[in-house]
Structure 1
Amino acid sequence: MATIKIKQIGSPIRRPSDQRKILLGLGLGKMNRVVEVQDTPEVRGALAKLPHMVAIVD
């Protein structure tokens, strides 16, 4: 299955708790951290809720 790399570009400080939980679920939590996750509809939905905090890297 395909994977995608996600980089956190926004801080979870002063964000709602549900957005912080999504970040932790993706394996993020600190600025500029990059993780590689499976490219599934669930992950794409989580990324759609955080366009201001995460970016897909090549």
Structure 2
Amino acid sequence: MSKLKVTLKKSRIGRIEKHIKNVDALGLKKIGDVVEIEDTPANRGKINQVAFMLDVEEVK
């Protein structure tokens, strides 16, 4: 299964609670944090909710 490299580009401050929880669930805490996660439908759903705050790349 492929992986995704996710980077937090915008602050969580002032966002609605649902967006903050999705960013937390992805393992991101501060601007510039990078995580590699599995490319699953659940993770894709979390990313789609906060896509405007993230930079996503596919890792091979």
Tell me if both proteins adopt one fold, taking TM over 0.5 as the criterion. yes
For this pair of structures, how many residues does the alignment match? 58
Query: Could you tell me the percent identity over the aligned residues?
Result: 33
Structure 2 residue runs without a partner (length 5+): none
TM-score, normalization: structure 1? 0.91
In the alignment, which residue of structure 1 is the partner of 2:34? 34
Distance in 1 (CA, whole Å) between partners of 2:4 and 2:12 is 21
The aligned counterpart of 2:13 is 13
Q: After TM superposition, where is structure 1 displaced by more than 3 Å over at least 4 residues in a row?
A: none
RMSD: 1.0
C-alpha distance in structure 2 between counterparts of 1:28 and 1:9, whole Å: 10
Query: Per-residue CA shift, 1:1-56, capped at 9, x if unaligned?
Result: 21110000010000011111101100001001100000001111111111111111
What is the identity, as a one-letter code, of the residue corresponding to 1:8? L
Secondary structure, counterpart of 1:21 in structure 2:
helix
Paired residue secondary structure (2:22):
helix
The residue aligned with 2:3 is: 3
Taking structure 2 as the reference length, the TM-score comes to: 0.89
